[in-house]
């Protein structure tokens, strides 16, 4: 009988290795100068902070946090702050680099950044979460700012955390600075449509890809991994677009029903319960690994990195993968999927909706003039559609896949900006 430890270990590259490998592929297509390649492969600034927080029981705990700014050639840096027990500087650097390409691919005037604190938020009280956030932002406040580096939410952080960041920064500046962070609650300078933006962008890209691949959207069988901000919104909007969402999952596992799951009901009645989506009765319970290899038309990985790897890529049955999460497919898996004709819409395009509406939020804050939700959604969908078709045309031109085509566009825009600005002094 085989035990878990006897099973072959799947070799996964680190996410930073993945990010650098993807850059190297684009650099080859662009015949990028060696020095310029070095500039783009390296983050401009990495900050590590260790800071104390007095916990509710009176004891002091020390937390480690990071802020990485990858590149400022096209504008101030922009990127989320992640609270998770397994973050590290390397992962944060890879995520910052991906943000640089993502902003360039959809042509918004930012470079990439990312922040993180090594913490399990589920173990914190609300008061501890607030204190940790305020102290972390105080530790990095000299490098953030509405014209320098603008944080946003990511895994483990939410609009309330963004409100505390805005307040802390404002108190230290002596003026209310709403544009220092995005993803805030709407009454505090947040944008309509921001909460749904990433999922909306994922589904907009999915619909365009279905049209290109001639997959009818109506009744397309969709599987979504991750039922947080991105996954739950993508599942709901896919259903509203006419798809049949046959399986969804969170970190506790998946639920599956071939007839389609009632996403609205699951969201309203089960998602916030102690047992989560597992409490929904009319379904089969499956593992996350089983979910990824279900027979379906479209797979939306919207949880975490490296879920589709060389160990399971050959078993993936979807015709189309739309990456809601950052880095869910390893390069080895992508090669296998490519050989089998599985079409992948890469994260840097598919999940750019979040940063696009964050950009809209920042613009609205700087102008103190706010837009209606339908304007935000229409502008977002237009950028995703235009970017999708631009990437598709570069894909055809270079006879490559969507990811490499997207990188060719993004890396070229950042490289051109670097060369045009010149290297100081």
Enzyme catalytic residues? 114
Query: Which of 31-39, 132-140, 206-214, 225-233 is the region at the interface with ligand NAD (rule: CB under 6 A)?
Result: 225-233
Q: Which is nearer to ligand NAD, 32 or 362 (CB)?
A: 362
CB of 74 to ligand NAD, least distance (A): 19
Contact region for ligand NAD (CB under 6 A) — 50-58, 299-307, 329-337, 394-402? 299-307
Selected from 92, 100, 178, 198, the binder of ligand NAD by CB under 6 A is 198
The residue from 124, 129, 325, 349 that contacts ligand NAD (CB under 6 A) is 325
Local structure of 307: helix, strand or coil: coil
User: Distance of CA 32 to CAs 35, 307, 400, Å?
Assistant: 8, 31, 18
Stretch that binds ligand NAD, among 126-134, 213-221, 298-306, 360-368 (CB under 6 A): 298-306
Minimum distance, C-beta of residue 350 to ligand NAD, in the bound complex (Å): 9
22 binds ligand NAD (CB under 6 A): no
Q: Tokens 């279905």 appear where?
A: 210
Stretch binding ligand NAD (CB under 6 A), from 5-13, 60-68, 124-132, 318-326? 318-326
Please choose, from the candidates 347, 348, 375, 350, the residue with its C-alpha nearest in 3D space to the C-alpha of residue 360.
Answer: 375
**How many CB atoms are located within 10 Å of the residue 370 CB?**
16
111 binds ligand NAD (CB under 6 A): no
Contacts (CB under 6 A) with ligand NAD, residues 248-277: 249-251
The CB density around residue 378, as the number of other CB atoms within 10 Å, is 13
Asked whether position 304 contacts ligand NAD by CB under 6 A, the answer is yes
112 lines the binding site for ligand NAD (CB under 6 A): no
Q: Does 229 bind ligand NAD (CB under 6 A)?
A: yes
CB 6 to ligand NAD: min, Å: 22
Which string of x and - marks every residue 401-420 that binds ligand NAD (by CB under 6 A)? --------------------
Which positions ≥6 away from 89 have C-beta within 8 Å?
46, 48, 66, 68
Please give the DSSP secondary-structure letter assigned to residue 251: T
Question: Does residue 191 touch ligand NAD according to CB under 6 A?
Answer: no
Site for ligand NAD, residues 342 to 361, rule: CB under 6 A: 351, 354
- Give the footprint of ligand NAD on residues 354-393 (CB under 6 A): 354
What is the distance of C-alpha 255 from the center of its chain?
Answer: 23
Is 182 near ligand NAD (CB under 6 A)?
Answer: no
Residue 228 found at the interface with ligand NAD (CB under 6 A): yes
Are the C-beta atoms of residues 169 and 184 closer than 8 Å to each other?
no
Considering the complex, state which of residue 248 and residue 392 has its C-beta at the smaller distance from ligand NAD.
Answer: 248
DSSP per-residue codes, 179-235 = GG-SS--GGGTPPTTHHHHHHHHHHHHHHHHHHHHT--STT-EEEEE--SHHHHHHH
Choose among 22, 21, 24: nearest CA to 37: 24
Smallest gap from Cβ 420 to ligand NAD, in A, equals 28
123 touches 46 (CB < 8 A):
no
Assess contact for 357 and 183: CB atoms under 8 A. Answer: no
- Under the binding rule (CB under 6 A), the answer on residue 293 touching ligand NAD is no
DSSP string, 365-422: HHHT----HHHHHHHHHHHHHHHHHHHHHHHHHHT--HHHHHHHHHHHHHHHHHHHH-
| Total site size for ligand NAD, rule CB under 6 A | 23
- CB nearer to ligand NAD: pick between 230 and 349: 230
DSSP string of 11-56, one letter each residue: P---HHHHHHHHHHHHHHHHT--HHHHHHHHS-SEEEEEEEEEE-T
Contact region with ligand NAD (CB under 6 A), list: 48-56, 104-112, 244-252, 313-321: 244-252
State yes or no: residue 230 binds ligand NAD (CB under 6 A).
yes
Options 70-78, 103-111, 148-156, 404-412: segment touching ligand NAD (CB under 6 A): 148-156
Which listed residue (91, 154, 297, 381) binds ligand NAD by CB under 6 A? 154
Count Cβ atoms below 10 Å from residue 103 Cβ, excluding itself.
Answer: 30
Distance of CA 388 to the CA centre of its chain: 17
Applying CB under 6 A, the residues found at the interface with ligand NAD are 153-155, 198, 225-231, 249-251, 288, 302-304, 324-326, 351, 354
């Amino acid at each position: 009988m085989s035990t878990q430890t006897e099973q072959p270990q799947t070799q996964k590259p680190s996410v930073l290795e993945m990010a650098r490998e993807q850059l190297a592929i684009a650099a080859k297509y662009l015949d990028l100068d060696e020095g310029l390649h070095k500039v783009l492969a390296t983050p401009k600034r990495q900050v590590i902070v260790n800071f104390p927080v007095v916990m509710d029981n009176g004891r002091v705990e020390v937390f480690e946090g990071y802020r990485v700014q990858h590149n400022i050639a096209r504008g101030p840096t922009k990127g989320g702050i992640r609270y998770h027990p397994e973050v590290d500087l390397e992962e944060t650097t890879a995520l910052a680099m991906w943000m640089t390409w993502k902003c360039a691919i959809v042509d918004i005037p930012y470079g990439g950044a990312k922040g993180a604190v090594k913490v399990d938020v589920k173990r914190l009280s609300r008061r501890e979460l607030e204190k940790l956030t305020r102290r972390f932002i105080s530790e990095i406040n000299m490098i953030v700012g509405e014209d320098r580096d603008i944080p946003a939410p990511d895994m483990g952080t939410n609009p309330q955390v963004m409100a505390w960041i805005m307040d802390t920064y404002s108190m230290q500046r002596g003026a209310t600075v709403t544009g220092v962070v995005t993803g805030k609650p709407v009454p505090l300078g947040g944008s309509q449509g921001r909460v749904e933006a990433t999922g909306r962008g994922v589904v907009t890209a999915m619909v365009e890809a279905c049209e290109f691949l001639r997959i009818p959207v109506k009744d397309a069988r969709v599987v979504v991994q991750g039922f947080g901000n991105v996954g739950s919104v993508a599942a709901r909007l896919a259903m509203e677009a006419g798809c049949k969402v046959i399986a969804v999952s969170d970190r506790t596992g998946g639920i599956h029903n071939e007839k389609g799951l009632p996403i609205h009901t699951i969201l309203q009645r089960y998602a916030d319960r102690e047992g989560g989506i597992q409490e929904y009765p009319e379904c089969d319970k499956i593992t996350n690994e089983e979910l990824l290899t279900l027979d379906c038309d479209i797979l939306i990985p919207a949880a975490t990195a490296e879920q589709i790897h060389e160990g399971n890529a050959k078993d993936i049955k979807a015709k189309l993968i739309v990456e809601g999460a950052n880095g869910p497919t390893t390069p080895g898996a992508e090669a296998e999927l490519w050989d089998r004709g599985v079409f992948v819409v890469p994260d840097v395009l598919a999940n750019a909706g979040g940063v696009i509406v964050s950009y809209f939020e920042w613009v609205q804050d700087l102008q103190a003039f706010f837009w209606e939700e339908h304007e935000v959604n229409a502008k977002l969908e237009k950028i995703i559609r235009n970017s999708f078709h631009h990437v598709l045309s570069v894909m055809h031109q270079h006879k490559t896949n969507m990811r490499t085509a997207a990188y060719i566009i993004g890396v070229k825009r950042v490289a051109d900006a670097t060369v045009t600005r010149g290297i100081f002094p």
